[in-house]
Amino acid sequence: MAATPASRVRLLHPCPWLRNFCRTTRQLSTLAAASSPIDNSEESTTTVTSTNKNRNTASYYPKRGQTLELVCESLAFKGKGVCKVADTGFVLMCDRALPGEKFIGRVTRKKDNYAEVKKLKTIAPHWDYVEAPCEFASHCGGCKTQDLLYDAQVRAKEQQVHELIVHVGKFSDNDPEYGGIMKPIVPCDIQFHYRNKMEFSFGTKRWVPAELLQQECDETNGHALGLHAPGFFDKVLNVDKCLLQGDPANKVLAVIQDIWRDPELGLSPYDVHSHRGFLKHLMLRSGRNIETGQPELMVNFVTSAYMPELLKPLVDKVAAFPEVVSIMNNVNTSVGNTSVGEQEYTLFGKSTITESLRGLKFQISANSFFQTNTHQAEVLYTLIEESAFLKGDGSEIVLDLFCGTGTIGLSLAKR
């Protein structure tokens, strides 16, 4: 664990539920994994402190820059690992720390009732280890727990929901009504290639993790097309494929990656600092033809200006894929880096793709909201219908508030 108090001081948490939240018991089991090297680019201000040593000298409140030996006990919201100071319950949150993992971390930020820690080196691996199938999983912000067994991910998420219901919703475990409120999580049958929408960003300089900086020094000055580094709006991790989207979308991404940097095309990535450049985002949306069941793909280029002649080489290459039925151009002239443009143009095919959900056919445009996991949305909407206890005689009115395209209300309308 971490540093222990020098004296018997009681910490009064301004948010008592946070302290209770961090008392979550360990739920997972064994594991084997490799350690990650210490990032030598930062120097610690203290030596490593553990709970079983230096009890009379260790600081009760870990200071910024202090290096500690910690054990992750559970996962909090957004996948951050929860660690605690022994005997005190003081909370330390660490990104990419997983339950059961013993590691050395450095305090980077100190708050009133918790501190944030950066993991420097893994001493003992976490429980329920699996090898992450994606080569970018260790650095991308999209799949922080990909090397954690999916069943363990589900248990961690269920525990987070449980804590919210008990400590925020004020339900008691002993309340007879609680059993009717907290239902087991329904896992998804598909762990990869399930997302029907992915958004990639163009960047003027690709971001490379510190531990890979030496071996990839020749590529660090190249332009990037990929996903943002965790916590940064201006750093893009170059991605050749993403396991969250389907194979047709990955094929299109690969083709665009191959050609968009060609100097002869005159394409420039948008610089979020100087506000210059042309290409901002690449959005890929997947659907299916209702009659044939074949996949349909929409490719949406988000640019800072409307210059279709610059996009034509990319459009010609992408349009050759039979799955591509729509190529759009959203123009966002503002300095904001959003993917929604003030104007929208159809460069190839139609302006929408289709998808079926619970027997209903939906026309999906570039900027419309739709459940990103179509397969699990079917399961979710079925559970909603079962929980609504509708009479089914058409005598009731369903209010579908903040409904987007109204998929839930429409699926219930037949009852």
Query: 222: helix, coil or strand?
Result: coil
Contact 299, 324 (CB under 8 A): yes
Q: Say whether 371 counts as a known binding-site residue.
A: yes
Tokens 């997972």 found at: 28
Residues 64 and 43: their CA atoms lie apart, in Å, by 12
Q: Say whether 402 counts as a known binding-site residue.
A: yes
3-state secondary structure 141-198: CCCCCCCECHHHHHHHHHHHHHHHHHHHCCCCCCCCCHHHHCCCCCCCCCCCCCECEE
Torsion of CA 319, 321, 322, 324, to 10 degrees: -60
Q: Which long-range contacts (CB under 8 A, 24 or more apart) does 178-186 make?
A: 184/158, 185/154, 185/157, 185/158, 185/161, 186/379, 186/383
Domains of the chain by range and CATH? Answer: 16-181 (2.40.50.140), 197-364 (2.40.50.1070), 374-413 (no CATH)
Contact 227, 141 (CB under 8 A): yes
> What pLDDT tens digit does each residue of the chain (415 aa) get?
433 333 333 333 444 444 444 444 333 333 233 333 333 333 333 344 444 444 444 446 778 898 989 999 999 888 899 999 877 788 999 988 999 999 999 999 988 889 999 999 999 999 999 999 998 888 887 788 899 999 999 999 998 888 888 888 888 777 766 666 778 899 999 999 999 999 999 999 888 876 666 555 455 458 999 998 877 888 899 999 999 999 999 999 999 999 999 999 999 999 999 999 999 999 999 999 999 999 999 999 999 999 999 999 999 999 999 999 999 999 999 988 788 989 999 999 999 999 999 999 999 999 998 999 999 999 999 999 998 999 888 889 999 988 877 889 999 998 7
Residues 206 and 202: their CA atoms lie apart, in Å, by 9
Residues 92 and 62: their CA atoms lie apart, in Å, by 9
Q: What tokens does 135 get?
A: 């080569």
Contact 118, 110 (CB under 8 A): no
